[in-house]
Amino acid sequence: MHEMSLAEGILQVIDDAAREQGFSRVRVVRLEIGQLSAVEVEALRFCFDAVTRASLAEGARLQIDSVPGAGWCMMCSKTVPLPALYEACPHCGGYQIQPTAGTEMRVKELEVD
């Protein structure tokens, strides 16, 4: 389950920000997770709760904004919505689509005390 390592990475981002900015508690962690990122959101929530115990983020609410998938079709040179990797282009039916959005995961914002 790679969600555990993702949760540990989020906690590291929080710890680094706390050292730099001097806050002592995190109330909300806002993430952007792409539709094509292969992150199981419920598993990430579970892992986040586990890794943040006894940390400055213990009890923090995880707010997740979904980023839709998109790609550039090499066959018809159009940017198209991409609900899943390896889907056909809705315009030409080709499968040579380079993902351009929806593969990312990032900490977007922290609400802190």
Strands of the 79-81 sheet, one edge to the other: 79-81, 70-73, 97-101
DSSP letter for each residue of 89-100: PTTT----EEEE
CATH topology for 3-68+102-112 is: hypothetical protein PF0899 fold (3.30.2320)
Per-residue pLDDT of the chain (113 residues; tens, 9 = 90+): 599 999 999 999 999 999 999 999 999 999 999 999 999 999 999 999 999 999 999 999 999 999 999 999 999 999 999 999 999 999 999 999 999 999 999 999 999 99
Residue 39 has a pLDDT of: 97
Closest C-alpha among 66, 63, 44, 67 to residue 111: 63
pTM: 0.88
Q: What does the domain layout of the chain look like in residue ranges?
A: 3-68+102-112
